[in-house]
Structure 1
Amino acid sequence: MKKIRVASYNIRKAIGTDRRRMPERVLEVLGQVDADIIALQEADRRFGVRSAAIPPALMERLSDYKPVPLDVQHDSMGWHGNAILVRKGAEVGAHDVLHLPYLEPRGATMAEVTLNGVDVRVFGMHLDLSGLWRRRQAAAVIHAAQQGAAMPTVLMGDLNEWSANRGCLADFARHYSFAGCGRSFHAQRPVARLDRIMHCSQLTLTDCGVHESAAARRASDHLPIWADFTL
């Protein structure tokens, strides 16, 4: 049986709940989650050249992951802070950035990944604070996900949606199933399900959850969420 684990994590530019920037803590948490593919949000620093929040040399030395090359900005890991990490042994095929309609600058990323005998298309996103713009951005991501050859698809990220099943959640639910991972924000006392993982019918969800280790409660103001699938 072919299995794969995915995760989504808003790393807040590697600034922890103690307001200290420590990318090593983020890498520690990623190692604990042990996912095959990870969508990161706020993966780049906010100002200046928007350099990667996790230095490439540090990721190479302390983790089993590599970023999908987005070829957008030289020093950045992601696109508007969105990045996709895969295990070093994974094969990355087509990959791209998505230009989303926005009130504040937003984007999404896509990669087709082969790992553990599974071919999967992954979208990572961080949607707007405005509900109207979230729905427009969701429509753009759904449209992009439905283009091209049929392939098992996972969509994940920080949707910034506080409602239980309305707004952009209802839009996504018309096309994809949600993994009921749980509450991920705020990391020290989670009250909201801002981070979400969605999947197509070709993938069978076997387990999912929120990673709530002591390290995760310090490394960012969001907790990482994860989901296991079989194909």
Structure 2
Amino acid sequence: MTKPAPGPDQPPIPVRLVTFNTHHGVGDDDRHDLPRLATLLASVDADIICLQEVDRRFGERSEDVDQALLLSRALDMQLAWGPAIDRGPVDGAGEGEPRRQYGNALLSRLPILISDVHPLPGTGEPRSALRTMVELDGGALWVTGTHLTTRSAEERAAQVGSLAGLHTDAMETGVLVGDFNSTPDAPELDALRQRFTDAWQLARARDDQAGWRFWQSDAGMTHPARSPHRRIDQVWVSSGVAVAGAYVLDAEGASDHLPVVVDLEVRSGV
């Protein structure tokens, strides 16, 4: 259970966080358009942005650019990087050419104090978690971003077990975010539910893109972007974090997922 918010003598620290699977910058029109993605992210006015499916010189699908670096510069935010796939330069490339990488990125307007990468168990496409600690004015927030496998519930359960182990009891103020490729009530997320609370359910205010689909109103669906019917992009919070609001935004064609925004209230003095 989430602990009560701090009293008036220790007001909580507001933090706006976004999680978004960017589909390596390729929108539902099949165009790679990094300026479109940057414009969308800038409009949210977030303190922390957690991104999945980010390319760094990965190949033609993203015009061989360093998306993480370009987005951090466009938004004037600090960058933490967590590759899941890490390959050498293309054959025949000159000495000193950059590696080809794909994975999770965190952009922050707040100071990043710690950043580490943790490979997750499983077969097929490699998966990883990017864990950071961000400095707040009067506190700190642990943020772990990830993207779980699509292969099986059993492999996702093993990955969730590893993720839960990254968050110790001393980390009272923490969030775990990303594309979980399963719904929040899925059995494979049980280890997560034992230590975290679903921010969407905890939020005092909620809004999504259900539109005329009244039966999905306030359900927080995020995928696929054109007609969302699955809530696989999620934010989970630990005991020291309350949630004022949670919102699913229009991706404006920038990805095949919709971004999730949460307005957090982080316990101070932790």
Q: Residue 155 in 1 paired to residue 176 in 2? A: yes
Cα distance in structure 2, aligned partners of 1:7 and 1:77? 25
The one of 13, 18, 25 equivalent to 2:36 is 25
Residue 224 (structure 1) aligns with: 259
Q: How does 1:63-102 map to 2 (within 5 A)?
A: 63-69=75-81, 75=98, 80-87=102-109, 90-102=110-122
Q: Figure out how many residues of one structure are paired with residues of the other and give that number.
A: 222
Q: Considering only aligned residues, what root-mean-square deviation do their CA atoms show, in Å?
A: 2.7
Secondary structure of the equivalent of 1:122? strand
> Residue 168 of structure 2: which of 128, 146, 149 is its match?
146
* Equivalent residue letter for 2:67: I
Deviation at 1:137, TM superposition (A): 0.3
List gaps (5 residues or longer) in structure 1: none
Higher mean C-alpha deviation, range 202-211 or range 167-176 = 167-176
Larger mean CA deviation between 166-175 and 217-226 belongs to: 166-175
> SS state of the match for residue 32, structure 1?
helix
TM-score (norm: length of structure 2)? 0.74
Given that 1:157 and 1:197 are in contact with CA atoms closer than 8 Å, whether structure 2 keeps it comes out as yes
Between 1:198-207 and 1:165-174, the stretch displaced more is 165-174
Structure 1 runs of 4+ with >4 Å offset: 45-53, 69-78
1:223 aligned partner, one-letter code:
L
Pick from 238, 241, 246: which aligns with 1:200? 238
Partner of 2:199: 179
How far 1:117 sits from its partner (Å)?
A: 3.9
Counterpart residue number, 1:35: 46
**Unaligned 5+ residue runs, structure 2?**
1-10, 87-96, 201-205, 207-219
SS at match of 1:190: coil
* Counterpart-to-counterpart distance in 2, 1:154 and 1:10: 17
TM-score between both structures, scaled by the size of structure 1: 0.86
* Aligned counterpart for 1:103 among listed residues 123, 135, 155: 123
Alpha-carbon distance, 1:103 to partner: 1.3
Q: Which has the larger radius of gyration?
A: 2
Where 2:122 maps in the other structure, the secondary structure is: coil
- Aligned residue type for 2:113: G
